[in-house]
Amino acid sequence: MTYYNFAAGPAMLPVEVIAQIKEDLPVYKSSGMSVMEISHRSKLYQDLYKETKADILDLMKLDPAEYDVLFLTGGATQQFTTIPLNIARKYRRIALVDSGHWAQRAGEDAQKLPNLEVDTVASAKDNNYTAVPEIPTVYAKDYDYVHITTNNTIMGTAYRDDQVPDLDLPLVADMSSNFLGQVYDFNKFDLIYAGAQKNLAPAGLTVLIIKKDLLVKHDDLPGYFDFATEAAKKSALNTPPVFQVYVAGLALKWLKKQGGVAGIAKVNQEKADLLYNTLAETKNFESKVDENSRSIMNVPFVTGNPDLDAEFVKEAEAHHLLNLKGHRLVGGMRASIYNAMPLEGVQALCDFIKGFDAKH
């Protein structure tokens, strides 16, 4: 029986990508070296870097003359600090849209910087984070940027493209858990960042897409934390995560074969609809997320009985349906169905849900 990994991250990679990694692991492109050994100064890596960067911008339909791509480390969590260090320079004030745990964390870390204000301009607290809050279009104060989290991994909520307005202020988005898995007009955003371990590559790589007019060198910042310095050094101020960039490059090629973001988003919607509809037809299971805010990447669900939840997770693992335990803040179960999760995996989960439901 095939195993299906529903982990929120690190998450599964496409089968085709893993097969290519196995082929390149001993020797990469007749170099005599493993892909894990090649130098970030070599032409092998420089070609890989350029192609991966170009593929990201191409898939997002962004103009290379207007946007740059940085390959960083430290996870999206580090960007909670480095983004305000680089961009919250004029007013020293950020507008935060609180849609869940990771949005809150972004605000808390930014607030720790000296002489920086973080104002929560919208929050889903009143609905217990079961629906995304509306993003304001009018602001009473001057802000350096507005920060949103497009997909909330823990709560299972997400913004659709039509819920993201065009703003006069710079718009910054943490897209870690639906990066290149859902259609957006990416030109609405001035900066997008994402940890790669959900939809793109193994943990250890953070992708940051930034408008070039925001790449201003700041002499008061260490080079490693200065976006302009990193861009000038082509993301190689220190040794970049070469292997992760290589895997990301393979995943991007695979994504293009699926029809790009629009093509994979259609499949992702089909997977999500299948799972949500199955849950709705059961007597024991429930999705508490508002229909207009449902994530197509992360689907939390509960029975309302912690013992029954635990039994479900244990039996699911015996059926090779892995990592379905929900986050500790929400409980229950969570199925993360990122780009690499095939429709067959979601169907296998739905069949198991129906069988389990019939027995209880």
Q: Is 254 among the residues known to form the active site?
A: no
Do the beta carbons of residue 186 and residue 211 sit within 8 Å?
no
Give me the catalytic one of 24, 53, 55, 102.
102
Distance CA(320)–CA(135), nearest Å, equals 40
User: Tokens 């939840």 label which residue?
Assistant: 309
Strands 321-322 and 93-98: unpaired
Q: How far is CA 42 from CA 5, 8, 48, 235, 257, in A?
A: 35, 34, 10, 14, 28
Q: What is the pLDDT of residue 1?
A: 66
Q: Is 198 among the residues known to form the active site?
A: yes
Do the beta carbons of residue 69 and residue 186 sit within 8 Å?
no
Give per-10-residue mean pLDDT for the chain (360 aa): 92 96 94 93 94 98 98 96 98 98 97 97 97 97 98 97 97 98 98 97 97 97 95 94 97 98 98 98 97 98 96 98 94 97 98 97
Distance CA(258)–CA(194), nearest Å, equals 21
Give me the catalytic one of 53, 198, 271, 325.
198
Give me the catalytic one of 24, 144, 174, 309.
174
Burial of 112 (0-12, 13-18, 19+ CB in 10 A): exposed
Please list, in sequence order, all residues whose beta carbon lies within 8 angstroms of the beta carbon of residue 257, skipping any fewer than 6 positions away: none
Q: What is the pLDDT of residue 253?
A: 98
Q: Is 98 among the residues known to form the active site?
A: no
Q: What is the pTM (predicted TM-score) of this model?
A: 0.97
Q: What is the pLDDT of residue 329?
A: 86
